[in-house]
Structure 1
Amino acid sequence: MAREFGPMPYVTTDDGSTVHFLDSETDGPALLLGHGFFMDAEMWLPQWEGLADRYRVIAVDARGHGRTEDVGRPFTYWDSAWDGWRVADALGLDRVVVGGLSQGGFTALRMALLQPGRTRGLVLIGTTGAAYTEQEREGFERAVVRSWVGGTVPVEDIAPTMAAVMIGGDRDRHQRPWVEKWRAGDRARLAEAAHCLIDREDITALLAEITAPALLLRGIGDQSFTHEHLRVLADGLGGPAELKTISAVTAAHVCNLTHPELVTPEIRAFLDGLPA
């Protein structure tokens, strides 16, 4: 998964965080994407490579992840949404399609709420507008904040299973590179990002304000979000929304990475069909 990129582009936020992003720098309408928790912008490389002939593909490293450096203070997905719009502003992009997987979807929804006139459409994979239930909060607190961020469980005891469940696909080709990233990384830097995830508010009541067209995708083996989660989200949006299942046996939560041959054509068809 290691590869060389050009000069690393960043934007600086009002609180002094430096937000890193990848930019295909190609011609065409822009698609700005956010990644899932534990991942980073490179999870979108298959879409970068598969769409850049016709679209400009931008992937943002969220706070606590990748090459983005936050200032160690609490933040919310509204802050992450403004980070996304700062990237768009820095690139001189007026209207963009916003998208993301899981927490990237939480951010994309808030981007659309903050700047509806600039949002051409949404691409949402394995995500929701709802908050965690109390049971989900407790489970995440135990599994991530204590075991992962707190370092109470060795990486070797948790990372392979997490990769199998979350990423899916092929163990050597898809999972192993991310397990190696996690082993080499600083687990403690996810602390504020974990609290942001756990404490996010329910925005279901606001979804009707989002009138841009939306494409919703879910890997059939996604254990984080059920088909019902995505159906509720699709039904709650104020614009046309199409929900599709990526039905390959090994398609899990991060299905865009493991099954780009199925996911990327769906995104391309959606983008091709958007009004100018």
Structure 2
Amino acid sequence: MTTDDGIKIHYLDTETDGPALMLGHGFFMDAEMWLPQLEELADHYRVIAVDARGHGRTEDSGNPFTYWDLAWDAWKVADALGLDRLVLGGLSQGGFTALRMALLQPDRTRALVLIGTTAAAYTEQEREGYERVIVKSWVGGAVPIDDIALPMAAVMIGGDRDSHQRPWVEKWRASDRGRLAQAARCLIDREDLTELLAEIKAPALLLRGIGDQAFSHQHMSDLAAGLGGPARVKTISADTATHICNLTHPELVTPEIREFLDSLPA
């Protein structure tokens, strides 16, 4: 779909009957990271996964944007599909977006499914690290692609090297690294939402891979404690479950999501 300001938003949609679940992907990824959930939940739910600006097949102007802009992008997709109330989900930056979606449209937010994410801004040390890794090494091309992509896939994606990591490494090799410039600024410069969390009254399920090096159990516990509605934290404890555990361990993650969705009032 194309927005009024010319953003061409690409998304995947099961187009199936049932309550709607909209999912946002992590940085460096795209909507296809949610394919296991689109395939497995479509029997009872309509599942939509949106490519954020700078990622996947979404086309934007190259101008600066924030996660509030991405939140409005996603709501415009919901509007175009005629969806009123949705469960909002996301991993990492997808979670940043889902939280902002809930703050913008609380009456349309049935619940939240948040994986490996936080409401907090980066610390100064974290900002410096991401400036070095993403802005200089990735976007700026200071490091050969495989020198950064291979170790990043192992840490961030985890799971099996051939079946889980390799397809994404191949995508990254073929990508325009400079395309992530504005997305990197959006990520690194985002503001802290902690003081606003109590405004979100919808129930929430929070998941985290046990080996996630980006967000700790404390991050998830703090997020759950800050939310204004009931929230449950669950750790995906398989040895190779890292940041993007929904992709590598759908047999553990998807049943948790299904059980949560099934428990929601109509």
- What code does the residue aligned with 1:178 have? W
| Aligned equivalents of 1:236, 1:13: Cα separation in 2 | 33
Contact 1:145 / 1:194 at 8 angstroms: preserved in 2?
yes
| Aligned equivalents of 1:14, 1:74: Cα separation in 2 | 17
Partner of 1:18, secondary structure, is: coil
Q: Does 1:128 align with 2:118?
A: yes
Task: Give 1:200's aligned residue.
Answer: 190
| Aligned equivalents of 1:150, 1:255: Cα separation in 2 | 29
Q: Mind listing any 5+ residue stretches in structure 1 that lack a counterpart?
A: 1-10
Q: Does 1:115 align with 2:105?
A: yes
Cα displacement (A) at 1:119: 0.3
Cα displacement (A) at 1:246: 0.1
Q: For this pair of structures, how many residues does the alignment match?
A: 266
**Structure 2 length normalisation: TM-score?**
0.99
| Aligned equivalents of 1:156, 1:250: Cα separation in 2 | 21
Contact 1:77 / 1:106 at 8 angstroms: preserved in 2?
yes
RMSD across aligned positions (CA): 0.5
Pick from 208, 215, 221: which aligns with 1:218? Answer: 208
Task: Give 1:261's aligned residue.
Answer: 251
1:204-261 C-alpha deviation (Å, 9 max, x unpaired): 0000000000000000000000000000000000000000000000000000000000
Cα displacement (A) at 1:156: 1.4
Contact 1:221 / 1:249 at 8 angstroms: preserved in 2?
yes
1:132-174 C-alpha deviation (Å, 9 max, x unpaired): 0000000000000000000111111111100000000000010
Q: Mind listing any 5+ residue stretches in structure 2 that lack a counterpart?
A: none
Cα displacement (A) at 1:16: 1.5
Q: Does 1:103 align with 2:99?
A: no
* Identity over aligned pairs, percent: 81
- What code does the residue aligned with 2:175 have? G
Task: Give 1:64's aligned residue.
Answer: 54
Task: Give 1:153's aligned residue.
Answer: 143
Pick from 3, 8, 29: which aligns with 1:18? Answer: 8
Task: Give 1:143's aligned residue.
Answer: 133
Cα displacement (A) at 1:54: 0.3
Pick from 216, 224, 233: which aligns with 1:243? Answer: 233
Partner of 1:208, secondary structure, is: helix
Q: Does 1:166 align with 2:156?
A: yes
- What code does the residue aligned with 1:185 have? S
**Structure 1 length normalisation: TM-score?**
0.96
| Aligned equivalents of 1:143, 1:32: Cα separation in 2 | 29
Task: Give 2:41's aligned residue.
Answer: 51
- What code does the residue aligned with 1:173 have? S
Partner of 1:38, secondary structure, is: coil
Moved over 6 A (4+): none
Partner of 1:19, secondary structure, is: coil
Task: Give 1:185's aligned residue.
Answer: 175
| Aligned equivalents of 1:169, 1:78: Cα separation in 2 | 32
